[in-house]
A and B are shown apart, each in its own frame.
Chain A
């Protein structure tokens, strides 16, 4: 069955430190992967897609089909990056989301 896992429920880093939010998926077909973010008191919104060629808000994510991973990275975390992050997989017309990782960037 299609599945998305995010092993960290909570990730705390200091401002300016690198951050990596992990995402692994299981899908036998050609995956389409997304990162969604939910800032405090805001709606869930798309951060980036696996076909994004440029960084979004300083974030990048590389699809590694060999490791079935789609980790989200940012070299220097900012306090405004604190939010809930969800990795999502599209298969057919369906979407499956991971459980989410709460990123807390400390001053």
Chain B
């Protein structure tokens, strides 16, 4: 499995756009990039998944450069309720041995 590297923590003010970058230098050809959000005492929640270029849904955007060795999760206009841990995962879709790492703890400040 491709190992991922993310910042341990980030702070942002309410209303700002937040970009969290994940490095995955050893990503394989058939690997997808998936981001999850986790609140304390809850299970991770799927946010977005992509393979290349840009993916956007109602919650976030995912930017993937051509070499796919990194990806950036973009959260538009964050609110206090976006305070959570965000995990970047790399694998073949629902690949069984998903490895989460320690994630990025996002703190949104009023």
Say if A and B assemble together: no
